[in-house]
A and B are shown apart, each in its own frame.
Chain A
């Protein structure tokens, strides 16, 4: 394993920001190469943990260099400055680094960061970006694959996660890492991780195993893990949105991943000052809860749940 420095930026009052990658050089130059990016945002603790556990796994668990066949680059964190402050975005100007690719070497600070990172990530056969949702909800682990015209569904299936969200492009997606990676010839996908900021011991395992499974399936490593799911391809029309007509304290009574029946109670809203239940939330359809609002206090008309309708899976 080689530790490579991708970028260092000085700061007036903080330690320099040094972004490092862990490069595991493969034994077979013809084997597929992969680059993996962990935390781009400051509150993406699970992506950080999962990426760092993969570094440990490749270094200590596999150990034998012969078993690493293709080049694997892991960048566990790009945004240390945000992680260390519990901020979500670049702390000075709140720029979302995943909205600034491919970057610009002579531009603003965050454009320069994205440019250097993108240079380091370019040329790999496959790319994985570990992310969390940006809508104040947590979710089951799933693949997000943009309908960019360059996406590769067969490789996304190799992670063996339950869902692949084949996502319609929004204008802001054109400056995401995934899209630009794809544009430049890498079969890139995003694994959307639960938005947990506290990690339970095994909290990373589903994501971690999906990456190991992927690395094995594309021939980058020789290390077999159990088969995963035959992934369901999901489109927006297959997701039922559940909004709350009342604000207050939000208590979900079902978690992400739970199968629910139509009209089953899945959550309730409590009057924040008087403690009484002001609204009960019922599932509008049979399905699986994919996302749950991730805050104890909820606003009127906020999205409380997303449910994957059974017929759509």
Chain B
């Protein structure tokens, strides 16, 4: 276990910003050993990854002889954001995950992401753990850019998540950590799970099992433990259906997150607390699994309420 500051900046008044990495290395270094980097907290309001990394650090500390490769943990990239419940980099108000690849001559957030990218560079695999945001709750899922899916999809299937979403290449997403690292030759996966500002323990344990499974199958750890794996839904064989709020108001959910849902089933209502009026009732446009559900109840017209994955026009997927 070796803790290193990968980025630091003295703050104006008696404090220092530091971004830390913890490296777990095998007792016996061999050429050809693989390296995996696990990153979380690029968004300061997303904490689920902190718990997963805690669980992984505990496992690694308790199983030092299992290591056959290097594992780098970066639990709190946006350290100031995490401690101030701020999604972006405080003071500058910028989204770090839209600031990659950054550079030494850029403004401070650009220098920070550059330092992270340079430190992770050379890893064989990277996993960037997100928690959606404070507005939406997500089942454990992997997001993959189609551009890199040939290399990353086989890895994603080992991570014990419920859903793999392969999305089209979008230029604006080239400013993300995952795109930058994939371009630099590190196979990088993005995990989305849970909800902002909270921990979901069962999801943390589920992803830990997936990460250990991946590490074992890549020969980075050696262990007799068997890790049961879920068979994820994949967006290759179905469609994603969106429910956006048709009205502004207060969203009251009718269903639990992650439920299997039938076409036409009621998802919830938009209500007005002032006069007790139901402004709109919302129904599933398609059957399938509701993998995203609105968590923060205040909505505007257009706010995302839910996402359902299923086969089109299938009543009962």
Interface residues of A (CB under 8 A from B): 9-12, 88-89, 92-94, 99, 106-112, 134-137, 170-172, 174-175, 241, 246-249, 272-273, 295, 297-303
B302 engages A88 (CB within 8 Å): no
Residues of B within 8 Å of A112, CB to CB, are: 301-302
A9 engages B248 (CB within 8 Å): yes
Known: A12-B272, A107-B244. A299 touches B10 (CB 8 A): yes
Residues of A within 8 Å of B250, CB to CB, are: 12
Query: Which of A92, A241, A248 meets B12, CB within 8 Å?
Result: A248
Residues of A within 8 Å of B98, CB to CB, are: 99, 172
A170 engages B175 (CB within 8 Å): yes
B171 engages A92 (CB within 8 Å): no
A109 engages B10 (CB within 8 Å): no
Which partner residue on chain A sits nearest B94 by CB separation?
A134
Number of chain B residues close to chain A: CB under 8 A: 41
Interface residues of B (CB under 8 A from A): 8-14, 17, 87-88, 91-94, 98, 105-108, 111, 133, 135, 171-175, 244, 247-250, 272-273, 298-304
Known: A108-B244, A297-B13. A93 touches B94 (CB 8 A): no
Known: A107-B244, A135-B92, A299-B17. A11 touches B9 (CB 8 A): no
What CA separation (Å) do A12 and B249 show in the bound complex? Answer: 5
Count of CB-CB pairs between chains A and B under 8 Å: 102
Residues of B within 8 Å of A10, CB to CB, are: 247-248, 300-301
Which partner residue on chain B sits nearest A41 by CB separation?
B93
A247 engages B9 (CB within 8 Å): yes
Residues of B within 8 Å of A170, CB to CB, are: 175
A99 engages B301 (CB within 8 Å): no
Residues of B within 8 Å of A171, CB to CB, are: 171-175
Q: Secondary structure of the A side of the interface?
A: loop
What CA separation (Å) do A137 and B91 show in the bound complex? Answer: 12
Smallest CB separation, A84 vs chain B (Å): 15
Smallest CB separation, B133 vs chain A (Å): 7
Query: Which of A99, A106, A108, A246 meets B172, CB within 8 Å?
Result: A99
What CA separation (Å) do A272 and B11 show in the bound complex? Answer: 10
A12 engages B248 (CB within 8 Å): yes
B87 engages A136 (CB within 8 Å): no
A92 engages B298 (CB within 8 Å): yes
A300 engages B9 (CB within 8 Å): yes
B301 engages A301 (CB within 8 Å): no
Smallest CB separation, B85 vs chain A (Å): 12
Which partner residue on chain B sits nearest A87 by CB separation?
B93
A247 engages B11 (CB within 8 Å): yes
Most interface-central of A241, A246, A249, A299 (chain B CB within 10 A): A299
B111 engages A301 (CB within 8 Å): yes
Residues of B within 8 Å of A93, CB to CB, are: 133, 135
> Would you give 11 A-B contacts (Cβ < 8 Å), ordered by A?
A12-B272, A12-B299, A88-B93, A92-B300, A92-B303, A106-B244, A110-B302, A136-B92, A172-B175, A298-B12, A301-B111
Query: Which of B88, B107, B272, B303 meets A108, CB within 8 Å?
Result: B303
B10 engages A246 (CB within 8 Å): yes
A247 engages B10 (CB within 8 Å): yes
Known: A94-B88, A108-B302, A136-B92. A299 touches B12 (CB 8 A): yes
A272 engages B13 (CB within 8 Å): yes
Residues of B within 8 Å of A137, CB to CB, are: 107
Residues of B within 8 Å of A135, CB to CB, are: 92, 94, 107
Query: Which of B9, B105, B302 meets A241, CB within 8 Å?
Result: B105
Residues of A within 8 Å of B171, CB to CB, are: 171, 174-175
Residues of B within 8 Å of A297, CB to CB, are: 12-13
Smallest CB separation, B118 vs chain A (Å): 15
B107 engages A136 (CB within 8 Å): yes
What CA separation (Å) do A107 and B242 show in the bound complex? Answer: 9
Residues of A within 8 Å of B298, CB to CB, are: 12, 92
Residues of A within 8 Å of B273, CB to CB, are: 12
Residues of A within 8 Å of B108, CB to CB, are: 299, 301-303
Residues of B within 8 Å of A12, CB to CB, are: 248-250, 272-273, 298-299
Smallest CB separation, A252 vs chain B (Å): 15
What CA separation (Å) do A174 and B135 show in the bound complex? Answer: 26
Residues of B within 8 Å of A136, CB to CB, are: 91-92, 107
What CA separation (Å) do A115 and B207 show in the bound complex? Answer: 38
The 8 A-B residue pairs whose C-beta atoms are closest, nearest first, are: A297-B12, A109-B302, A171-B174, A300-B10, A135-B107, A247-B10, A109-B300, A10-B248
A299 engages B9 (CB within 8 Å): yes
Which partner residue on chain A sits nearest B107 by CB separation?
A135
B87 engages A94 (CB within 8 Å): yes
Residues of A within 8 Å of B300, CB to CB, are: 9-11, 92, 109
Residues of A within 8 Å of B92, CB to CB, are: 135-136
Smallest CB separation, A42 vs chain B (Å): 11
Most interface-central of B12, B171, B247 (chain A CB within 10 A): B12
What CA separation (Å) do A301 and B12 show in the bound complex? Answer: 11
Most interface-central of B88, B91, B248 (chain A CB within 10 A): B248
